Amino acid sequence: MSDSKEKPEAARMMEAAFGGVLEALGKMGYPVTSDDNFAETAARAARAMVELVRPPSEIAAEIDQMLARTFPARYDEMVISKHNICFGVCPHHLLPVIYRASVAYLPGQRVLGISKLSRMVQLLARRPVLQEDLTHELAELLFERLETRGSAAYLEGLHLCMAARGIEAHEARVVTSAVRGVFRDQPATRQEFLDLVTAPQLNLL
C-alpha cells in the first residue's frame, strides 16, 4: 500500500516503455544501440518523467499537512503569490508544460505561509492535468479548504506539444484564470488581482 512500493514499479514500467521508444528510434535509423549517449536513456527518461508527475496520494498528503499548519489572519488584505514558475505535463501528449502561475486569496480566519502557497502551486502542477482543471483546482482549494472569503488563480502555460509543432509556435502560450467568492462577486477585486499579476515587473536579478 505504501508509495515506496508503488514508485519503483511505476519507474520500472516507464523505463520499459521508454525502451520501446528507443527501439522505434532505432527503426527510424538512429544509432540507439551503438551511440553511448543512448546507453542509459530509458532509465534516465523514466526518472525525469517520475519527477514531472507526482503520485496523487503524495500530493494530497502534502497539501493536507500544509493546511494543518495555518496561522491566524492578522489582516484582511489580498495575499498573493505571483509568477511561480512550475512544471507539469499535458494529459494529451505527455509533453512538458512550463507554467507561470499566480494565485491569491482574501483571508478568512487563517492564512497559509507564503512559501507554502508557492509550494502548493508547484505540487499541483506536477501531474498529467489540463491547465484549465489545474487553474480551477487551485482556486477551489484556496477558497474551500483554506476557508477564505475568495480566491483567484491566473496561469500562463507554455505547452511544448504546441510550441514544438507547426508554424503557430508563438501562439503556444495558454492563459487561464479562475475566481471564487469575493473575486467572482466584486469585479474591482478581480481587476486588482489581474492588474497585479499582469503588470510589467522589474527584473531584479
Least distance to Zn ion from the beta carbon of 128, Å?
Answer: 10
- Binding to Zn ion, residues 149-188 (CB under 5 A): 161
Pick the closer one to Zn ion by CB: 163 or 179.
163
Q: CA-CA distances (angstroms) from residue 16 to 46, 93, 194? A: 9, 18, 45
The count of other CB atoms within 10 Å of the CB of residue 69 is: 10
**Whole-angstrom distance, CA of residue 187 vs CA of residue 13:** 48
- Which amino acid would we find at residue 114? I
Q: Is residue 129 within the footprint of Zn ion (CB under 5 A)? A: no
**Residues near Zn ion (CB under 5 A), total:** 4
Q: CA-CA distances (angstroms) from residue 122 to 5, 13, 127, 151, 176? A: 24, 25, 10, 17, 16
- Binding to Zn ion, residues 5-34 (CB under 5 A): none
Least distance to Zn ion from the beta carbon of 162, Å?
Answer: 7
Binding span for Zn ion by CB under 5 A among 12-20, 68-76, 92-100, 197-205: 92-100
Least distance to Zn ion from the beta carbon of 89, Å?
Answer: 8
Q: Find out whether 52 and 87 touch, Cβ atoms under 8 Å.
A: yes
Least distance to Zn ion from the beta carbon of 163, Å?
Answer: 10
Pick the closer one to Zn ion by CB: 80 or 160.
160
β-bridge mates for residue 149, sequence order: none
Pick the closer one to Zn ion by CB: 174 or 182.
174
Pick the closer one to Zn ion by CB: 93 or 136.
93
Binding characters for Zn ion, 62-91, by CB under 5 A (x = yes) = ----------------------------x-
Pick the closer one to Zn ion by CB: 143 or 156.
156
Pick the closer one to Zn ion by CB: 83 or 92.
92
Q: Residue written as cell 492563459?
A: 175
Least distance to Zn ion from the beta carbon of 159, Å?
Answer: 5
Residue from 12, 69, 83, 92 touching Zn ion (CB under 5 A): that is 92
The DSSP annotation for 18-75 comes to HHHHHHHHHHHT--TTT-GGGTTHHHHHHHHHHHHS--HHHHHHHHHHHHHS-EE---
Mapped onto helix, strand or coil, the DSSP state of residue 125 is helix
Name the site residues for Zn ion (rule: CB under 5 A).
Answer: 90, 92-93, 161
